Amino acid sequence: MPRYALKIEYDGRPFAGWQRQSAQASVQGAVEAALDRVEGGTHLIAAAGRTDTGVHATGQVAHCDMARDWDPFRLAAALNAHLRPLPVAVVACAPVAADWHARFSAVERRYTYRIICRRAPLVHDAGRAWRVPVTLDVAAMQAGADHLLGRHDFTTFRATHCQATSPIRTLDEARIETRPCDNGQDLRIHLRARSFLHNQVRSIVGTLERVGAGAWAPGAVATALAARDRTACGPVAPAEGLCLTGVGYPADPFAPLMPAG
């Protein structure tokens, strides 16, 4: 059976996360239903990561097995036709080897968390960013984030119900970007690692917000990390600011492709 890699973007607000749910809408369920309509039968897909309720993606990757050979552009177009009007789109599709796996072949995941600092409610960015009503000290936040780089026990920064067998992870990038913004402060927190624990990104962001607001000193992030205790973590940032922006592989299956139409 031919296997295809799918690059998928979605707005997470209407869904109870990526993972298939028996009684609630999910992104996985939407894509699998579209595959069933495209080719008939039952299709199951696997993704690089399971995003939570309300979390978005511009670079989620999944794979599917089809009964016949498809031109990848036609498969993407057919899926997008059946996904409408849901806020989900297949932006690229590529044939891959039968043993290629969206999750297990991945060597890195990239997330971006967006914070907009202003007193006024968000209008155009509502549901896509965390509104914080005070200006944040970006330099202090970056100093705090630097303590998290490298290989550590991230028990403090993972959900109590996280199912990972080990809390050890290596954070390869923690970079805070400031973008021009006419009506406040627009921050993007970029995090990159081979894999993340459940709620790790949102736990890190919530802690860094406390540093930026002046409630924590940057060095307190290192203290919290060393505690290996969930109660030492800052508040968990809300889901709407988080976006899965990319998944890395030893060889990018989408590299030679143009975006799907």
| Domains of the chain, residue spans | 3-105, 108-245
Q: Is pTM, for the whole model, over 0.85? A: yes
Helices in 12-130 by DSSP H: which ranges?
A: 27-39, 72-83
Q: What is the pLDDT of residue 47?
A: 97
In angstroms, the CA 170 to CA 184 distance is 33
Of 11-20, 21-30, 60-69, 250-259, the least confident: 250-259
- Show Cβ contacts of residue 241 under 8 Å, excluding neighbours closer than 6 positions: 113, 114, 115, 128, 129, 130, 205
Of 2-6, 105-109, 162-166, the least confident: 162-166
Residue 169's alpha-carbon distances to 23, 25, 172, 219, in angstroms, are 33, 31, 10, 20
In angstroms, the CA 158 to CA 236 distance is 10
For residue range 44-62, list pLDDT tens digits in order: 999 999 999 999 999 999 9
Bond from prior residue into 87 cis (ω within 30 degrees of 0): no
Residue 232's alpha-carbon distances to 18, 138, 142, in angstroms, are 29, 22, 19
Angle, helices 72-83/27-39, rounded to nearest 10 degrees: 120
Mean of the per-residue pLDDT values of the chain: 95
The DSSP 8-state label assigned to residue 231 in this structure reads: G
In angstroms, the CA 77 to CA 189 distance is 33
Within this chain, domains 3-105 and 108-245 share the same CATH topology: yes
Average pLDDT (27-46) is 94
For residue range 61-79, list pLDDT tens digits in order: 999 999 999 999 999 999 9
Backbone angles phi, psi at 110, to 5 degrees: -125, 130
pLDDT surpasses 90 at 86: yes
Average pLDDT (23-28) is 94
Q: What is the pLDDT of residue 177?
A: 96
CATH architecture, domain 108-245:
2-Layer Sandwich (3.30)
pLDDT surpasses 90 at 199: yes
pLDDT surpasses 90 at 32: yes
Contact present, 132 and 146 (Cβ < 8 Å): no
Catalytic residue among 11, 36, 52, 71: 52
Q: Is 52 a catalytic residue?
A: yes
Q: What is the pLDDT of residue 40?
A: 87
pLDDT surpasses 70 at 38: yes
Q: What is the pLDDT of residue 22?
A: 85
In angstroms, the CA 50 to CA 62 distance is 10
Query: Selecting from 3.40.1160.10, 3.90.1150.10, 3.40.250.10, 3.30.70.580, what CATH number does the domain 3-105 have?
Result: 3.30.70.580
For residue range 152-195, list pLDDT tens digits in order: 999 999 999 988 999 999 999 999 999 988 888 999 999 999 99
pLDDT surpasses 80 at 208: yes
Would you mind telling me the total number of residues written for the chain in this entry? Answer: 261
DSSP 245-257: EEEE-SS-TTTTP
Q: What is the pLDDT of residue 163?
A: 87
For residue range 116-147, list pLDDT tens digits in order: 999 999 999 999 999 999 999 999 999 999 99
Contact present, 72 and 257 (Cβ < 8 Å): yes
Residue burial 58-72, b: 16+ Cβ < 10 Å; e: rest: bbbbbbbebeeebeb
